Amino acid sequence: MLIGELAARTGVSHRMLRYYEEQGLLLSEREPNGYRRYDADAVRTVQAIRALLAVGLGTGVIASVLPCALAGEPLGLDLCPELVSTLRAELAGMDGRIEAMRCTRGALASLLD
């Protein structure tokens, strides 16, 4: 399928699809006229990318776990050991940032008291 069809089927802009390709997350073949052509699995790949972005992973991390994520159910993610480990590490980092923000918030609130 061409980029316009992939964009329509996934709700993701042409620009974002090109960005995913630049980041090595999405593959396409070039036609002689330069148009990108994606295979049918590209829809599922884009859905997995969006799901991983939605939970706060960056594209670098996604690149490392995407093959694992795509090994699962057609509309879900395969929680293979590598992906579970990555998600736990990201969760721990998030918990740390939340705690730091709580401390900062407490210090700010104490100035107002």
Question: What pLDDT does residue 111 have?
Answer: 94
Nearest to 72 by CA among 60, 84, 61: 84
Q: Does the domain at residues 3-112 carry the CATH identifier 1.10.1660.10?
A: yes
Question: What are the boundaries of each domain within the chain?
Answer: 3-112
DSSP 30: E
Q: What is the pLDDT along the chain (113 residues), one digit of tens a residue?
A: 999 999 999 999 999 999 999 999 999 999 999 899 999 999 999 999 998 898 888 999 899 888 887 776 555 667 788 888 888 998 999 999 999 999 999 999 999 98
Q: What is the pTM of this model?
A: 0.76
Selection from 65, 111, 63 nearest residue 85 by Cα: 65
